């Protein structure tokens, strides 16, 4: 199978390769240089460390309350209220 590198350094992966590897738009890939050329691998360097602990932390209070404890209470009216403009009829 062949592909040509564009002036922007892009290539088109043949449909058979995309289907076999399950590559869709947005799928991360890695390129590894070898003695004979380059090796394309599906996936990235692995899960992000935060992904492994996401959802496991329990907080004693809501985040807003914790931030208020650290920074002090927020002002009640930080900016003027927005006026509602009635919609025009066509």
Q: How far apart are CA 21 and CA 15, in angstroms?
A: 10
pLDDT in tens, 50-80: 877 888 888 899 988 999 999 988 777 656 6
Supply the pLDDT for residue 24: 87
Q: What is the CA radius of gyration of the chain?
A: 26
Phi (first) and psi of residue 87, to 5 degrees: -70, 145
Q: How far apart are CA 75 and CA 81, in angstroms?
A: 14
Q: Is 55 left (phi over 0), alpha (psi -120 to 50) or beta?
A: left
pTM of the model: 0.43
pLDDT digits (tens, 9 = 90+) for 10-48: 999 999 989 988 888 888 888 899 999 999 888 866 677
């Amino acid at each position: 199978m062949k592909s040509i590198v564009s002036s922007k350094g892009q290539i088109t992966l043949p449909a058979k390769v995309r289907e076999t590897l399950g590559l869709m738009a947005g799928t991360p890939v890695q390129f590894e240089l070898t003695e004979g050329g380059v090796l394309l691998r599906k996936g990235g360097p692995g899960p992000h460390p935060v992904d492994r602990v996401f959802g496991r932390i329990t907080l004693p209070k809501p985040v807003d309350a914790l931030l208020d404890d650290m920074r002090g209470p927020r002002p009640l009216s930080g900016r003027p209220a927005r006026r509602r403009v009635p919609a025009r009829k066509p």
